[in-house]
């Protein structure tokens, strides 16, 4: 069974913080989207091999890999999938973020704490 044969899910959430996963899941599911959350980079790559997603929300600091590094690896698997970095480690005009946006490693950056509207706006924009 290949990833392409699976139905398309809306969101992959990658965050090791259970509170954030709880927020994101609730936000997306009640917004009418489908979502799966995983706590590590390894789990994210595994999920992506089994399942296609419309977009991915990544934390910048994961237990096994840096969010920006993971973004590059996901990009190789799914070049067209928008990747949104959601992090409290960087600030919006952080040089590392500007570089990642410029090189298209990530599509958007949302700083924590965020408003629920920020997340939903990204999804609406991509719809």
The binding site for other proteins (CB under 8 A) comprises 17, 19-20, 22-23, 26-27, 60-66, 87-89, 111-116
Smallest distance from the beta carbon of 116 to other proteins, in angstroms? Answer: 5
- Output the smallest distance, CB 35 to other proteins, in A: 14
- Cα gap 122→36, rounded to integer Å: 17
Closer to other proteins by Cβ: residue 47 or 67 = 67
Instruction: Tell me 7's DSSP state.
Output: P
The span from the CA of 90 to the CA of 2, in Å, is: 35
In this complex, which beta carbon is closest to other proteins, that of residue 50 or of residue 116? Answer: 116
Work out how close the CB of 68 gets to other proteins at its nearest, in angstroms, rounded to a whole number.
12
Task: Give 57's contacts (C-beta < 8 A, 6+ positions apart).
Answer: 11, 12, 13, 14, 15, 24, 84, 86, 119
């Amino acid at each position: 069974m290949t990833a392409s044969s699976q139905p398309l899910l809306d969101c992959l959430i990658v965050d090791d913080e259970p509170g954030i996963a709880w927020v994101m899941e609730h936000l997306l599911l009640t917004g009418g989207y489908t979502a799966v959350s995983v706590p590590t980079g390894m789990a994210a790559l595994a999920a992506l091999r089994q399942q296609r997603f419309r977009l991915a929300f990544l934390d910048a600091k994961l237990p096994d890999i840096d969010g920006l590094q993971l973004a590059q690896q996901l990009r190789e698997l799914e070049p067209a999938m928008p990747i949104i970095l959601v992090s409290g480690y960087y600030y919006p005009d952080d040089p590392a973020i500007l570089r990642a946006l410029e090189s298209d490693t990530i599509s958007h950056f949302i700083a924590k704490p965020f408003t629920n509207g920020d997340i939903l706006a990204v999804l609406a924009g991509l719809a």
